[in-house]
Amino acid sequence: MSAAHSSWGRQVAAMASIAATGVAVIYIPQPIQTLVADDFAVPASASSAALIAVQAGYALGIVLLVSLGDRVSARRQVTTQLVATAAALALAAAAPSYAVHVALCFVAGATATVGQLLVSAALRLAPPSARARTVAVLLGSFLIGLFTVRTALGSLAAAIGWRGALVVCAAVVLALVPLSLRVSPREVPADPPSYGRILASIPGIARRSSALRLMTAVHVLCFMAFIATWSMTTLHATSALGLDVAQAALLGLAGLVGGAATIAAASIHSRVGPRRSLAICLAVALVGGILITVGAGSVPVLVLGLLLLSAGMSSEQVTTQAIGLASVDPSENGRANTIFMAATFFGGTLATAIAATLSSAIGYRAVGAFALALVVIAASLAFVADRRGMLRSSSTR
C-alpha cells in the first residue's frame, strides 16, 4: 500500500468516527422512547413523535445543509454543525414538555447531517482504487455508530435516566469538534454556485440522471424496510417479548454486527462488480425480512433477521450510492447526494409513521411484512436498472 493510500485510510477512519456519531443522533429517541413517554405521560400511540421528528429534521437538513457541500469547506461546516447538534441535544434533555422535546429532536436531526457531508466530500477526494472501500467503511461506520448508541443508550438511560443519557450524548458530540478540525476535508469547491442556484438546480440534476433516480429508489425502499422494523423493535420487545428497556437495547447488537459485516465485506464489492454485489445484498435483506416476519415472537430469529436486513441495507448502499453519484458531474456530487439521502430519510420518516400505525393496529409481524414487501419492490427496481445497463459500471451516466 502506498503512503498516500495509507494516509487516506487513516483520514477515512477518523472521518468515519465523526460520521458514525452524527448519524447515530437520529436514532437516539428509539431506545429511550418508552422512558420519555412515561415521564411526560404520553400514550403509546403518540410516543413515536420524537422518532418521526428527528428523521424529518435530518431529511430537511440534508436538503438545506448537505447541498452546501458544493460551496463550503466540509471542515468548516461539519465543525459548526457538531456544535449545533450538541446544543440541541443538551436542550432536549432539559425540555419541560414533550412538545418542546420533540421540537428539539427535530433541530438535532437537522444539524446531525455531518456524515452525509463527509461521504460526499470523501467521494470527491478518494483515490479511484479506494472509492468503493471508502464508501463501505463510512457506511459501515454509520451502522456501528447508531447501534452502539442504541445498545448503550438504553442501558445508560435505565441507570441514570433519559435526561442524563441525553446530556452524555451531547458531550460526546461536542468532543468530536477537535477531531473534525484536524481531519474533515478543508478543500473548498472551485468556483461554487450561489446557495440559491444550488437549491434551484437540485430538481434538474434528478431529472437528467435516470441512474440517480433508480438507484435512489432502490435504496429508499431498503432503508424504509430497515427503519420500519427497527423503529418499532423497542416497543415490541418491551410489550410483546417481555424484555425491559436495557434488555431491549441489547437487540442493537444485531445492527452492530451488520455494520461490522459491511466494513469487512468492503473489498468484495469491487471484486464481484456492481451487478453481483447488489444482487447479493438484496438477497441478504430479503432473507432478513422473511425471518423478521415469521419469527417476530422469537428473540433469536428476530435478532438474525434484523442482522441480515441491516447488513443487506447498508451494503446495498455501497453500490447504489456510488452508481447514483457517479452518474452526474463531479461538481454536482453534493447535490446528487442531497437527492439520494433526502429521499432516503423522507422515506424513513414515512416508514416510521406507517410502522407505528401497523404495530398499534395489528402487531409487529405486520411491520415485518411491510418491510419484506418494500425489499421485494426494491429488488424489482434493481432488475429494471440491470436491464437498462446501469449495473455494468459505476461510471454510468
Q: Average per-residue pLDDT in the chain?
A: 85
Name the CATH superfamily, with its identifier, for domain 3-182+205-387.
Answer: MFS general substrate transporter like domains (1.20.1250.20)
pLDDT at position 224:
96
pLDDT at position 19:
82
pLDDT at position 246:
75
Q: pLDDT tens for residues 215-247? A: 999 999 999 999 999 989 888 988 888 888 778
Q: Which of 87, 79, 77 is nearest to 108 (CA)?
A: 87
Separation CA 311–CA 283 (nearest Å) = 11
Q: Which three cell numbers stand for residue 53?
A: 421528528
Tell me the whole-structure pTM to 2 decimals: 0.78
Q: What's the number of CA atoms in the CB half-sphere (13 Å) around residue 52?
A: 14
Q: Which residues of the chain, if any, have pLDDT below 70?
A: 1-6, 8, 123-132, 135, 139, 189-190, 266, 393-397
pLDDT at position 375:
97
pLDDT at position 129:
64
Spatial contact of 142 and 314, defined as CB atoms under 8 Å apart? yes
pLDDT at position 395:
42
Separation CA 338–CA 90 (nearest Å) = 27
**Per-domain residue ranges for the chain?**
3-182+205-387
Separation CA 131–CA 127 (nearest Å) = 6
pLDDT at position 157:
87
Q: Which of 118, 147, 146, 136 is nearest to 263 (CA)?
A: 136
Q: pLDDT tens for residues 73-115? A: 888 899 999 999 999 999 999 999 999 999 999 999 999 988 8
